[in-house]
Chain A
Amino acid sequence: DVKVTQSSRYLVKRTGEKVFLECVQDMDHENMFWYRQDPGLGLRLIYFSYDVKMKEKGDIPEGYSVSREKKERFSLILESASTNQTSMYLCASRGDRKTNQPQHFGDGTRLSIL
């Protein structure tokens, strides 16, 4: 089974802090994604990566950056956390980009910015 592990289930940070969310997958997947999920807005794509050191902006990249130094790890960075970034953050991974294999999700990180 595919395993996508997010480093924290719950996280509380303060406004202005730099926040790192970590995600690791164990299936040698090329593609990795960061989404945020908010009530009434569904899942929104923040960034994705289709290879090591490669990244593309999703629909709502403002205020975020990402890092993919190793194939199995994809990090989401909140450069200066703000209260409107309080959300559930979901990481996903998927194999060969040329097929229609599904994305597999981690259990999420519920982030609160005070």
Chain B
Amino acid sequence: DAKTTQPPSMDCAEGRAANLPCNHSTISGNEYVYWYRQIHSQGPQYIIHGLKNNETNEMASLIITEDRKSSTLILPHATLRDTAVYYCIVRVATGSSNTGKLIFGQGTTLQVKP
């Protein structure tokens, strides 16, 4: 299974862009990178995912390096409500059904400050 490495914590000023890095140097060619976040006492919330091209949606942008060994999640204008633990996950397949369990690491605790 491909592993991910994230910094344990980061701070960001409200209104500024938050750039959260993730290393996944052992990723294989058909594995996607997923980002989730978890606000205290809630379930993980899906943010975005990608394979090799950069992706953008209403929540964030995902930048994946050309060699796919790392990626960056960008929250363009962070707000106090973006304070959460952010998880970078590489999807693996499991069982004969190829359902694909998610392996959550320790994530990055992002603190957005006024």
Contact = CB atoms under 8 A, between A and B. Distances in A.
Interface stretch (A62-70, A79-87, A101-109): A101-109
Contacts, number: 65
A48 B99 contact: yes
**Secondary structure of the A contact surface, majority rule:** strand
A94 interface: yes
A42 B36 CA distance: 13
B98 A97 contact: yes
B105 A42 contact: yes
A110 B99 CA distance: 25
Interface residues of A, number: 28
Interface string B45-70: 11001010000000000000000000
Interface in B1-37: 32, 34, 36
Nearest to A42: B104
Nearest to A110: B41
Contact of A97 (B36, B42, B97): B97
B99 A105 contact: no
Given A100-B32, A108-B43, A58 B49 contact: no
